Structure formats: C-alpha cells, structure tokens
A and B are shown apart, each in its own frame.
Chain A
C-alpha cells in the first residue's frame, strides 16, 4: 500500500492552525498512525487508529479520516511543533508516507 502526503512542506507561524493530508492507495479503514520527527532525532509516536492520541501528546494535535483519506491538524502551532510529520499505515505490511515538513514562516 502506497502512502502520499500533502503538502510536502509548509510554512506557518506560531499560533496558526495547520492541516496535513495523508492518502493511501487503497482503503485502510482507520489503520493509520502519525509520527513527528525533529532533525537528528528518532520519530515520536503521536496518533494511532487515525484519531487516538498517544498518552502525553498535547490536545492541539488531532487526527481524522478513514478509508483512504486522513488528516493531521495542529491547532495553535507552538515552537516545539516545527518538525517533519509522517503518516504510516498498519493495515498491511507497514509503509510510511514521504513526510511533511512544517517550518517557521
């Protein structure tokens, strides 16, 4: 299953709301996870099952979608949120999206 993300990068300011889209090449129900990665660091697990926040993840992060179309929304962007975000499907053998880099405007 192929995963795509859009946009590949975006510029935003602190306080902005941003939305990242992830699409799968076939239906994956809600078997979709999101990760955040900062330069030189391992990815951090954010959301599983399309919308279920991992413990400790701020509530400004939210996920939605099912089937083939999914979104990650960060409301009121904070300085710590500038990073690259990856989606990953777990419906079949795991595959990741190419990532969306969120950088400061």
Chain B
C-alpha cells in the first residue's frame, strides 16, 4: 500500500528557504501514470496546489509561486523534494505531498501524506 511521508524543517526564518522531502513507500516513484505533488493549506484556510514533478524531472508549478519554487526527484531514494525561497509569513501552512494520478478524463490527487506544519517566523 502506497504511503507518503513528509519531513523537513518546521520553522523557517523570513527570507530564508523552506525545504521539505516526501518519502514514498509501497511503490516506485518511477511508476508510469503518476506525478508527485506538493499542496499546502494555511491555518484555517483552503488548499493551494504548489506543483508536481514526474520521475523524469519534468515539472509544473503554480504560476503564483513559480518564481520561488523548485521541485526535484531522487529515484535512488524513492523520494521527491520541495524548495521554496524567500519565504514570508504568508507561506506558513501545512504542507502535503500527494500522488497525482492521471486518468483518461481527469487527474486527481489520490494518495496524500499526513502533512507537515511549517511556520515562518523569526
């Protein structure tokens, strides 16, 4: 059974870089038909898609965050990562990693990690 587990710094200073990793277990990150995503949720608010990456390294980012986001994949460790630069308090959120499954007529986030809270504060 596929499981995703986020890890990384829970406290980041303003203007610094947020770094998170999502470990994938129960399946290969190179499996066809999937991409690997980051989604965040500020406290008490809704969900915001950050981006996704394929095992090939091809990426798609939210245009509102694209200038600050970098995703990467490490197939040898079966994990993928997120870096978000120049963070501000507005980046404080629970960050989820999720698998994006591509269907014939849709693409959905079918498996989610438990989420990790990241606070931006000095």
Contacts and interface: CB of A to CB of B under 8 A. Distances in A.
A48 B101 CA distance: 10
Interface string B45-64: 01111000000000010110
Interface stretch (B23-31, B80-88, B110-118): B110-118
A54 B110 contact: yes
B103 A86 contact: no
A33 B103 CA distance: 11
Contact of B108 (A33, A97, A98, A99): A33
Contacts of A42: 96, 98, 112-115
A45 B47 contact: no
A40 to B, nearest CB: 9
| B47, B108, B111, B112 — most chain A CB neighbours (10 Å) | B108
Contact of B48 (A49, A50, A54, A96): A96
Given A93-B60, A93-B62, A93-B63, A43 B106 contact: no
B54 to A, nearest CB: 15
- Per DSSP, chain A at the interface is loop
Interface in A34-85: 35, 41-45, 48-50, 52, 54
Given A33-B106, A93-B62, 4 more contacts: A33-B109, A43-B47, A52-B103, A96-B47
Contacts of B107: 31, 90, 94
A98 B103 contact: no
B49 A48 contact: no
Contacts of B98: 42
Nearest to B60: A93
Contacts of A23: none
A98 B104 CA distance: 26
Interface string B30-48: 0000000000000000111
Contacts of A95: 49
